[in-house]
């Protein structure tokens, strides 16, 4: 692989704490969930109604949308707008759990002949069982499959380049065969020829495990490929860009946890109402990765790990490099929540901004090969043309430039300002051209 | 379980930062200059000590007053003024009057740095700007730096300082070597006029290690920096007809400083995603 493709930062991984004790046998059951509904889905329950775990609570309005399910059994108490972890306002169905002792975990029936499922049935299953990708885009799986019909290769992304996060790794170590089978189902539905499992080179036990299972299944259309353990190598966009330069449309990547959810949906007919989440950070008493029903509040997520031992300074959804800081702990876990982090002051302290030293560190560490310094300096001076030619629109907001900057400049804020300014600039230009 | 506050800070990512800082960078350079400063104190004794103290005092005073004048926070703790003072002292010739040292610090800190926008904004290397300006203004007064004479220990001290800089990994490692290579090659090509090889290497290595590390005046890409350094070395060799001369090397760097904005635009990075498209476009 060319050197330019492996640009990144070797970060302290901080994953050991959450790898100390993991047990994915049981889903944590909070007393209340506020299940986020997707825009384009309509609630099909009313306040006061009782629901079971895995019961449908919203139906899609559009063919590209999915059904939504309740993650706990209880009573619907409210359907209202709430802020989600990305800052958007969404509709959520609040389910208050029952007071009686927790019932035994729900067992889903195995579908007969699931391995021979047709592509049409696969798509229907994904839509009806509410499958969305377990990354920030939370794209419905059937819509993503349809959109990538030309893909010849399926990439199953097992990488977690951000510090603290271990949910994919833990899931892979617990359910490798299920993930491989889910990948095969997905490959057939896509009509792809090959499956590539991407894992970080420092996670060699994951790599070896996948390789051994591929060998055991006698698959010659699957391969496990290592990715340098440099942040942000392993993000979906970079995998596509680095492995299929200029031919990104010939491959499609899905997170391993999505592939596992696909396996569960197709083989066991289990709806997508829970996801694996890493609850971590120095403030958490017992950091670990665990199953949480969608809609669990961040407060309950921390509670599931015995709470915090000291006051966090920041609550972050997903990693510390590109994650989103939360104003409070009431936000719900969504399909895109890979981690809930409670970080102390000494980790997230912010030093005052200094003038740019033009040291080029941000340029050298930018994984997409653009010039963050030129973009941000141009944005400071309102020069959006220069921001554009410096590659503002190619920025994947990985946070590398802000991390390395010795002047502690708020790079992302400036890059977003440049992108916004560029949009307005273009609209004005178009308007001027059309009179 | 500790009680948690209701609201948290919601600044944008990244939520963690590297331990690098502006102050660490400047003080790191100051530390790397120490072997040379100590060697100069040892060999040049009172003369260099006098220049050094005067330079330090005047730099601190100018930093303080310019902060007042330009209504900025005094950032003495960054170490930039100390670095400028040390470099200025090192570049002063033997027998240089006190007024020239004070003037050099004024030119570097107030004129070249603050008048051009202050930290991170200035166009010309402040110390070289001051040194070349003084040479132009009072040519009879300014000769080659008092520490640049053929002394193996001084050269070793520069080498040691260079190693310290390389260990800090804050600049491009190839820059001093590229400068040395292009300068020596150009000098050879122009007729090998390096009369005193020890003095020549002292000057070239000092310039490569300590005068080409100020990122503010260098281009914004590694490739651009290599072009800059090669250009500065070639021009420096062309401008000094008798071996190495600090004024020729300095003038060459200042001339290249003028080209930096063009190098930034010309050699700006191309996103990986558009490289292939560009190549195809060219092929068609
Ligand atoms: S410019 Fe964008 S892609 Fe490049 S390092 Fe910064 S955040 Fe990452
Ligand atoms: S890392 Fe910071 S100081 Fe260095 S060039 Fe980039 S923006 Fe400027």
For the cut 50, the answer to whether the pLDDT of residue A2 exceeds it is no
Co-location of A140 and A262 in the same domain: yes
CA-proximal residue: ligand 1, atom 2 (nearest): A395
Query: Does residue B84 lie in a domain region?
Result: yes
Query: Does residue B16 lie in a domain region?
Result: no
- Round the average pLDDT of chain A to a whole number and report it: 91
Mutate to test the pocket of ligand 2, among A377, A378, A409 (most ligand atoms within 8 A of CB): A409
Co-location of A44 and A74 in the same domain: yes
Co-location of A369 and A416 in the same domain: yes
Q: Which residues of A touch B12 (CB under 8 A)?
A: 325, 402, 410, 412-413, 416
Q: Which residues line ligand 2 (CB under 6 A)?
A: A 356-362, 372-373, 376, 404-407, 409
Task: Locate A157 and state its tokens.
Answer: 């992304």
Kindly report, residue by residue over B243-267, the tens digit of the pLDDT: 788 999 999 999 999 999 999 988 8
Query: Does residue A318 lie in a domain region?
Result: yes
> Any CB–CB contact under 8 A between A352 and chain B?
no
> Any CB–CB contact under 8 A between B220 and chain A?
yes
CATH number at residue A282: 3.10.20.600
Q: Look at residue A435 in the predicted model and tell me its pLDDT.
A: 65
For the cut 90, the answer to whether the pLDDT of residue B284 exceeds it is no
Q: A396 C-alpha to center of ligand 2: Å?
A: 18
Q: Look at residue A3 in the predicted model and tell me its pLDDT.
A: 36
Whether the Cβ atoms of residue A58 and residue A44 lie closer than 8 Å to each other: yes
Whether the Cβ atoms of residue B158 and residue B208 lie closer than 8 Å to each other: no
Kindly report, residue by residue over B199-233, the tens digit of the pLDDT: 889 999 999 999 999 889 999 999 999 999 999 99
Q: A415 C-alpha to center of ligand 1: Å?
A: 8
CA distances from A76 to A57, A73, A81, B210 (A): 9, 9, 14, 70
Domain that holds residue B188: 23-266
The tally of domains found in chain B comes to 1
Better pLDDT: A432 or A283: A283
Whether the Cβ atoms of residue A15 and residue A22 lie closer than 8 Å to each other: no
Rounded Cα distance, A133 and A261, in Å:
9
Q: Which residues of A touch B266 (CB under 8 A)?
A: none
Rounded Cα distance, A121 and A238, in Å:
31
Interface of B with A in 153-192 (CB under 8 A): 170
Nearest CA in chain A to B75: A354
Q: Which residues pair with A9 in a beta bridge?
A: A231
Q: Which ligand is nearest to the CA of A372?
A: 1
Co-location of A39 and A149 in the same domain: no
Kindly report, residue by residue over A161-196, the tens digit of the pLDDT: 999 999 999 999 999 999 999 999 999 999 999 999
CB nearest A325 (choices: B8, B21, B277): B8
Which element (helix H / strand E) includes B41? helix B22-69
Rounded Cα distance, A68 and A274, in Å:
11
Domain that holds residue A373: 361-434
Task: Give the lowest-confidence range in A390-399, B92-101, B193-202, B218-227.
Answer: B193-202
Rounded Cα distance, A79 and A68, in Å:
13
Nearest to B224 by CA among B252, B259, B255: B259
Q: Look at residue B282 in the predicted model and tell me its pLDDT.
A: 45
Rounded Cα distance, B108 and B242, in Å:
27
Rounded Cα distance, B150 and A125, in Å:
82
The tally of domains found in chain A comes to 3
Q: Look at residue B162 in the predicted model and tell me its pLDDT.
A: 96
Nearest to A242 by CA among A337, A145, A157, A136: A157
For the cut 70, the answer to whether the pLDDT of residue B275 exceeds it is no
Domain end (from A268, A299, A317) = A268
Domain end (from A293, A317, A347) = A347
CATH number at residue A206: 3.40.50.11540
Nearest to A285 by CA among A318, A310, A319: A310
Whether the Cβ atoms of residue B89 and residue B51 lie closer than 8 Å to each other: yes
How many whole angstroms from its chain centre is CA A85?
A: 12
Task: Locate A1 and state its tokens.
Answer: 């692989």
Q: A230 C-alpha to center of ligand 1: Å?
A: 14
Q: What is the mean pLDDT of residues A251-270?
A: 96
> Any CB–CB contact under 8 A between A344 and chain B?
no
| Residue whose token pair is 């107030």 | B110
CA distances from A357 to A155, A287, B120, B126 (A): 40, 39, 5, 14
Q: Which residues of B touch A310 (CB under 8 A)?
A: 2
For the cut 80, the answer to whether the pLDDT of residue A339 exceeds it is yes
Whether the Cβ atoms of residue A356 and residue A373 lie closer than 8 Å to each other: yes
Query: Does residue B251 lie in a domain region?
Result: yes
Q: Which residues of B touch A328 (CB under 8 A)?
A: 6-8
Query: Does residue A119 lie in a domain region?
Result: no
List, as one string, the DSSP characters of A159-170: ---SSS--HHHH
Count of other CB atoms within 10 angstroms of residue B56: 18
């Amino acid at each position: 692989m060319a050197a330019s493709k492996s640009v990144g930062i070797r970060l302290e991984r901080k994953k050991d704490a959450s790898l100390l004790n993991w047990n994915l046998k049981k889903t944590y059951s909070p007393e209340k969930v506020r299940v986020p509904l997707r825009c384009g889905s309509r609630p099909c329950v009313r306040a006061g109604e009782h629901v079971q775990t895995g019961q449908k609570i919203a139906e899609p309005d559009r063919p590209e949308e999915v059904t939504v399910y309740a993650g706990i059994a209880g009573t619907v108490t409210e359907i209202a707008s709430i802020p989600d972890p990305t800052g958007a306002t969404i509709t959520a169905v609040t389910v208050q759990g029952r007071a009686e002792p927790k019932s035994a975990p729900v067992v889903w029936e195995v579908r007969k002949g699931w391995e021979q499922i047709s592509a049409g049935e696969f798509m229907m299953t994904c839509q009806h069982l509410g499958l969305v990708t377990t990354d920030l885009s939370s794209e419905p799986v059937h819509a993503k499959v349809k959109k990538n019909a030309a893909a010849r290769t399926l990439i199953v992304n097992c990488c977690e380049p951000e510090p603290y996060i271990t949910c994919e790794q833990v899931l892979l170590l617990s359910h490798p065969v299920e993930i491989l089978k889910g990948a095969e189902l997905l490959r057939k539905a896509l009509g792809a020829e090959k499956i590539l499992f991407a894992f970080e080179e420092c996670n060699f036990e994951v790599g070896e495990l996948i390789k051994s299972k591929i060998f055991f299944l006698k698959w010659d259309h699957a391969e496990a490929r290592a990715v340098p353990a440099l942040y942000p190598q392993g993000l979906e966009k970079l995998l596509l860009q680095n492995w299929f330069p200029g031919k990104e449309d010939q491959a499609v990547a899905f997170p391993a946890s999505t592939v596992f959810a696909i396996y569960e949906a197709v083989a066991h007919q289990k709806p997508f109402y829970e996801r694996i989440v890493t609850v971590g950070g120095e403030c958490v008493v017992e950091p670990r990765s665990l199953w949480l029903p969608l809609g669990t509040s961040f407060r309950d997520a921390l509670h599931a790990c015995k709470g915090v031992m000291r006051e966090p300074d920041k609550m972050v959804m997903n990693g510390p490099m590109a994650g989103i800081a939360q104003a409070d702990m009431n936000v719900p876990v969504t399909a895109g929540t890979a981690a809930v982090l409670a970080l102390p002051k000494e980790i997230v302290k912010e030093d005052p901004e200094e003038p740019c030293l033009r040291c080029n560190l941000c340029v050298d560490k930018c994984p997409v090969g653009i010039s963050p310094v030129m973009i941000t300096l141009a944005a400071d001076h309102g020069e959006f043309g220069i921001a554009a030619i410096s590659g503002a629109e190619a920025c994947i907001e990985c946070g590398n430039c802000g991390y390395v900057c010795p002047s502690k400049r708020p790079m992302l804020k400036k890059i977003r300002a440049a992108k916004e300014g560029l949009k307005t600039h273009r609209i004005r230009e178009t308007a001027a051209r059309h009179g | 379980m500790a009680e948690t506050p209701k609201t948290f800070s919601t600044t944008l990512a990244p939520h963690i930062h590297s331990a690098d800082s502006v102050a660490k960078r400047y003080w790191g350079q100051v530390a790397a200059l120490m072997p040379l400063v100590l060697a100069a104190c040892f060999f040049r004794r009172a003369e260099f000590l006098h220049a050094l103290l005067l330079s330090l005092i005047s730099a601190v005073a100018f930093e303080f007053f310019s902060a007042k004048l330009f209504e900025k926070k005094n950032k003495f703790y960054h170490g930039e003024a100390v670095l400028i003072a040390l470099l200025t002292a090192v570049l002063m010739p033997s027998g240089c009057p006190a007024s020239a040292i004070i003037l050099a610090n004024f030119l570097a800190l107030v004129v070249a740095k603050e008048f051009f926008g202050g930290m991170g904004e200035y166009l010309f290397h402040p110390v070289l700007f001051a040194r070349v300006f003084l040479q132009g203004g009072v040519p009879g007064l300014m000769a080659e730096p008092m520490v640049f004479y053929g002394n193996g220990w001084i050269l070793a001290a520069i080498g040691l300082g260079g190693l310290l800089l390389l260990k800090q990994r804050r600049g491009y490692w190839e820059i001093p070597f590229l400068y040395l290579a292009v300068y020596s090659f150009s000098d050879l090509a122009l007729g090998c006029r390096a009369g005193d090889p020890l003095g020549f290497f002292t000057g070239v290595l000092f310039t490569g290690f300590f005068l080409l590390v100020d990122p503010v005046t260098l281009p914004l890409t590694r490739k651009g920096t290599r072009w800059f350094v090669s250009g500065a070395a070639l021009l420096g060799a062309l401008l000094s007809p008798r071996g190495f001369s600090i004024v020729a090397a300095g003038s060459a760097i200042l001339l290249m400083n003028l080209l930096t904005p063009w190098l930034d635009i010309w050699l700006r990075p191309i996103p990986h995603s558009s490289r292939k498209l560009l190549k195809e476009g060219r092929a068609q």
